[in-house]
Amino acid sequence: MLRWGKWPNICRQIPAEVFNVLQRLQSGGYQAYLVGGAPRDLLRGSPPQDWDIATDAWPAEVKAIFDRTIALGEKFGTVAVLIGDQQVEVTTFRREGEYSDGRRPDWVEFTPDLVADLARRDFTINALALDPIGRRLVDPYRGLWALKRRLVKAVGDPAARFQEDPLRMLRFYRFQSTLGFRGETATEQGIEAEAITKISGERIRDELTKLLVGAEPARGLKGLARSGLLTAIMPEFKAVWATDPSLFAHLVATVQAIKPAAELRWAAFLHDLGKATTRQVEGNRVRYYGHEKVGQELAAGILERLRFSNAFQDKVLTLIRWHMFPAAPWLTDAALRRLVGKVGPENIIALLELRRADIVGTGGSVCYAQESLAQFHRRVQALLTGETVFTRKDLAVNGREVMAFLGLPPGPKVGAVLNDIFHWVTEDPARNRKDLILGYLQKWRAEHFD
Ligand code: ATP
Ligand code: MG
């Protein structure tokens, strides 16, 4: 039971538009409840992300009550109600048949029975229904009990529920990461990791990304590893267990230390994957020659399988490829400009963030990481705001002008000359003027041709 005194606080957090939708459904003689993430988050005192309402009104009846609606998946009973600037999803109570293909139920039917609707939901904390007007909490699976214990527990028999829809295995760890809850042992024992291969790359991608950007990704990632889901999805990780399990701990610690943005978290998780296959012991030292290149290739395969966009892949792969950049104070301005040219001005700040997390994730001093990178950060910032030269495209002369000036035919020689000019200009960006560059070429021609 929910204590009576809690209601005012819960009601305060519900937008007027959502109340309005509930009210109008109930005035029409229908049942209407908040379901899914909203009651869960309201009861644990955290603002819900979206507002889902369940009702025994059929989709056509819902559409008749409200002026502005969009049929989202009418077959599945979902109608979006537009009210003010809010969009509230109203779904008719459903019950589902078996999932004989492990993807979707064989049949879905509408039902006037709220408890049947709650029974098909994945975890007990997600199977609560809340009516803030009648001040009623419907909780047939003891979701409130689990919320208080911060526990993710399957509704019904875990193995059967995971078999129906293997994506739920990932959601089990996803909620542990986003909510910081524990997973119930009996629920974890229902996991059959190999079944995850039935699920499409896109759906796996979305759940894994939510897990990674959660508040406690370490919890979720360790669970994925323990259950075998990690290697079922990314066999590339098998080499980690075979050669150096402490590498996994480092990857997890780096994820935990980096800001919760999707690209950063993915880059952190995969950045040292190449170490597992490049590991070499020389005397009493361990080396990982070229691990950032091997890591980039492994990550490329993973991200492609999971159907990430090209832009997302490019960003993550660039971060992995250059994560070993030298961040020492003695790095010259010219070298810094070339680094920015290689990774792109849009990625350089992210690369610094990856380095900071990498140091923290190695057990390095947070202070040292902040200190040494703060200076680097200031220099990069100054570079980015000032006019400067990052790549050959930024030069004040182009290939055609070089060919005309030196009387060269098109060919690799032109590229070599441009490279030479580029290095000369990055020594001092003030040199990036056409007259100065041509003056330099004049001397250059004297040395190379005459
Ligand atoms: P979030 O705050 O991340 O949106 P959520 O709990 O709302 O969390 P959704 O994926 O939006 O998660 O799903 C909404 C609700 O639908 C869940 O709370 C759960 O009750 C139910 N649900 C979603 N996916 C499944 C599934 N694969 N199996 C069973 N129930 C599910
Ligand atoms: Mg949701």
Interval 63-93: pLDDT, tens: 999 999 998 877 788 999 999 888 999 999 9
For residue 202, the model assigns a pLDDT of 97
Residue 80's φ and ψ, nearest 5 degrees, are -90, 125
Mutate to test the pocket of ligand 1, among 33, 44, 46, 126 (most ligand atoms within 8 A of CB): 126
Q: Any idea which ligand is nearest the CA of 96?
A: 1
- Please, are residues 94 and 83 in contact by the beta-carbon 8 Å criterion? no
Output the CA 126–ligand 2 centroid distance in Å.
10
Domain at 151-233, CATH class? mainly alpha
- The residue ranges of DSSP E strands in 62-209, in sequence order, are 69-73, 78-83, 86-92, 94-96, 108-110, 129-131, 136-138, 151-152, 182-183
DSSP string, 12-38: HTS-HHHHHHHHHHHHTT--EEEETHH
Nearest-CA residue for atom 13 of ligand 1: 36
**Other CB atoms within 10 A of residue 115 CB:** 14
For residue 319, the model assigns a pLDDT of 97
Output the CA 52–ligand 2 centroid distance in Å.
7
- Look up tokens 């202070």; give the residue: 367
For residue 368, the model assigns a pLDDT of 72
| Residue ranges of the chain whose pLDDT lies below 50 | none
- The minimum-distance atom of ligand 1 relative to the CA of 49 is 2
CATH code for residues 241-387: 1.10.3210
Nearest-CA residue for atom 26 of ligand 1: 122
Q: What is the pTM of this model?
A: 0.86
- Assigned token pair, 178: 């986003």
168 lines ligand 1 (CB under 6 A): yes
Q: Any idea which ligand is nearest the CA of 124?
A: 1
Cβ-proximal residues to 312 (8 Å cutoff; 6+ apart), any chain: 262, 263, 303
Output the CA 36–ligand 1 centroid distance in Å.
6
Cβ-proximal residues to 399 (8 Å cutoff; 6+ apart), any chain: 410, 414, 415, 418
| Topology (CATH) of 6-149 | Beta Polymerase; domain 2 (3.30.460)
Q: Which of 99, 104, 62 is nearest to 83 (CA)?
A: 62
Tens of pLDDT along 299-338?
A: 999 999 999 999 999 999 999 999 998 877 778 888 888 8
Cβ-proximal residues to 268 (8 Å cutoff; 6+ apart), any chain: 251, 254, 255, 257, 258, 354, 357, 358, 361
Output the CA 50–ligand 2 centroid distance in Å.
5
207 lines ligand 1 (CB under 6 A): no
- The minimum-distance atom of ligand 1 relative to the CA of 164 is 28
H/E run at residue 285: strand 285-287
Q: Any idea which ligand is nearest the CA of 41?
A: 1
Q: Any idea which ligand is nearest the CA of 105?
A: 1
For residue 449, the model assigns a pLDDT of 66
For residue 322, the model assigns a pLDDT of 95
126 lines ligand 1 (CB under 6 A): yes
Nearest-CA residue for atom 22 of ligand 1: 121
For residue 211, the model assigns a pLDDT of 98
50 lines ligand 1 (CB under 6 A): yes
96 lines ligand 1 (CB under 6 A): no
For residue 286, the model assigns a pLDDT of 87
Output the CA 39–ligand 2 centroid distance in Å.
11
Mutate to test the pocket of ligand 1, among 78, 103, 121 (most ligand atoms within 8 A of CB): 121
Mutate to test the pocket of ligand 1, among 122, 147, 206 (most ligand atoms within 8 A of CB): 122
89 lines ligand 1 (CB under 6 A): no
- Please, are residues 176 and 183 in contact by the beta-carbon 8 Å criterion? yes
375 lines ligand 1 (CB under 6 A): no
Output the CA 175–ligand 1 centroid distance in Å.
10
Q: Any idea which ligand is nearest the CA of 166?
A: 1
CA 171 and chain centroid, separation: 14
Output the CA 37–ligand 1 centroid distance in Å.
7
For residue 162, the model assigns a pLDDT of 97
- The minimum-distance atom of ligand 1 relative to the CA of 40 is 6
Nearest-CA residue for atom 7 of ligand 1: 37
For residue 450, the model assigns a pLDDT of 57
Ramachandran region, residue 261 (left: φ > 0; alpha: ψ -120 to 50; beta: rest): beta
